Structure 1
Amino acid sequence: MLTQLLQGFTLLGEEWVLWLLIALSVFSVGVMLERLVFFLTNRLSGTEELAQRLAEGDADFARQAVDGKRGIEAAVVREALNATDRGPEAVEEVIAGTMARERLRYDAWLSVLGTLGNNAPFIGLFGTVLGIIRAFHDLAMADPSAKGGASVVMSGISGALVATAVGLAVAIPAVVAYNFFQRWLKRLSSSATALSHAWQSHLKSSAEKQKAA
């Protein structure tokens, strides 16, 4: 019973796997476009000047620079400025929490691209195996006196290999996009860290001056 059920499933061939891969490809492209728009609309310009002003203690300029802005850099600066009255240690904790929270927003959906990049080739290979099984089954069920048995098998196998090719076609762009966005996120995180360090260095130097006085 179980063997017959599994055999019936394998004889479905690779066509449904191809449709699945096409659907995954469309979904993958949608994720890429959504993440691209998100990254482009959640970045901060003029970070070098902002870092310099933060190191100089120009809080008013920094507040204006991040006012109404979104993204990890703006969020870190804004939260650090808001926590200034609570002391340097509180600022450090707030920065760490803000960085972790913002990274989750940037990481959203990127795991989907990573998963597709890792598993789409195996889905395609699965479709190829199903197609080959069906090709040999069709050969076994064919009339022995009929001609062209080998060509039938070759035609079935070539069609089955399409699933592997489609799987790779889905995986390669997903992997490229995943690595691209991860590098982009790393650069933004480094920029946010540099901005936070600029403000923290100002706070520490100010505290030391107050102690010396």
Structure 2
Amino acid sequence: MSFNQNLSHFLSQSDAVGQTLFGLLLLMSVTSWYFIAVKAWHGLQARRNSKHFLNQFWNAASLDEVAHSLHQHRDDEPFSHLAYHAISASRHHAKHGKQRLQEAGSASEFLTRAMRRVIDEETAKLEWGLTVLASIASTAPFVGLFGTVWGVYHALIGIGESGQGSLEQIAGPVGEALIMTGLGLAVAIPAVLAYNDCVRSNRVLLAQLDAFAHDLFAFLTTGSAIESGAAPANPAQKLTLVSVGAE
């Protein structure tokens, strides 16, 4: 008997509890694959756009040139989002000074708060869906195991009522009940792998974003790059602050 036949026979013999658990596992699987596909697509797009922006940034003649291009593409990926708000914060503080509580402190302190706020926002975006993947990865095996236990119990009750306790009568229903354990593992394993991959990718991206934030902060406050920055070592790093304090 094939897997599909076993599964169909198991569902036809199951009660409402077993069918509900099967539906729950199916929902978990669809949900996890949705998040896997969406996060993979967003990650691919973000890496592509980030590479393009960083190449454009380091080859720009001035921050004014960067700021002009950011008006149209400021939310495409984390690096352009950070650069746009950092430049805007620097210019805002230079023009308006300390008129409100959120602008208190020196220009560098105001810029640091603005950049940290953007990094926190990007971190929250990157972590979207990870809680769901982690929950599915940790609970799906137990849902499948509970389905197996319930299926075995249900099968044994049926065998007891029929009065037939031969090995052939027990092996079939019990074997079919074990399908639920296999389904639970089939749901959990992709979710675990996707979660671990997303966590690693997010950690790498946030480290790169933090390094870029240090270089950008140095440009906006001193007008030159820091020697130990993570930016590529090429002449385009000699980016000058042209009218950064102007609107």
> Do the two structures share a fold, i.e. TM-score over 0.5?
yes
Q: Output the TM-score relative to the length of structure 1.
A: 0.79
Give the partner amino acid of 2:63: A
Whether contact under 8 Å (2:87, 2:220) holds in the other structure is no
Mark the CA change 1:187 to 1:64 in structure 2 (over 3 Å): closer, same or farther: farther
**Which of 195, 202, 205 is the matching residue for 1:185?**
202
Conserved 8 A contact 1:117-1:170: yes
For 2:131, the aligned partner's letter is S
- CA distance in 1: counterparts of 2:132 and 2:17, whole angstroms: 26
Q: TM-score, normalised by structure 2?
A: 0.69
RMSD of aligned residue pairs (Cα, Å): 2.6
Gapped regions of structure 1 (runs ≥ 5): 1-9, 208-213
User: What are the within-5 Å matches in structure 2 for residues 1-213 of structure 1?
Assistant: 12=16, 14-43=18-47, 44-46=50-52, 49=55, 58-63=62-67, 66=70, 67-69=72-74, 70-85=76-91, 86=93, 87-143=107-163, 146=164, 149-206=166-223
Name which of structure 1's ranges 110-119 and 184-193 shifts more when overlaid on structure 2.
Answer: 184-193
| Letter matched to residue 38 of structure 2 | E
Listed as ranges, the gaps of 5+ residues in structure 2 are 1-13, 94-106, 225-247
Distance 1:195 1:65 in 2: 18
Matched-pair contact (CA < 8 Å) for 1:142–1:149: no
Query: Taking CA–CA contacts closer than 8 Å with sequence separation of 6 or more, which of the two structures ends up with the larger relative contact order?
Result: 1
Q: Distance in 1 between matches of 2:62 and 2:213?
A: 13
Q: Which residue of 1 aligns with 2:96?
A: none
Question: How far off is 1:73 after superposition?
Answer: 1.6
Instruction: List 4+ stretches of structure 1 deviating above 4 A.
Output: 10-13, 46-54, 64-67
Q: Is the 8 A contact 2:32 2:191 kept in 1?
A: yes
CA distance in 2, matches of 1:12, 1:205: 69
Question: Number of paired residues?
Answer: 193
CA distance in 2, matches of 1:112, 1:118: 10
In 2, Cα distance between the equivalents of 1:117 and 1:64?
44
More helix by share: 1
TM-aligned CA distance change 1:199 to 1:50, over 3 Å: farther
Residues 89, 78 of structure 1: alpha-carbon distance in 2 compared, 3 angstrom cutoff: same
Cα distance per residue 1:126-176 (max 9 Å; x no partner): 101101111211121113xx5x63322221111111111110110000111
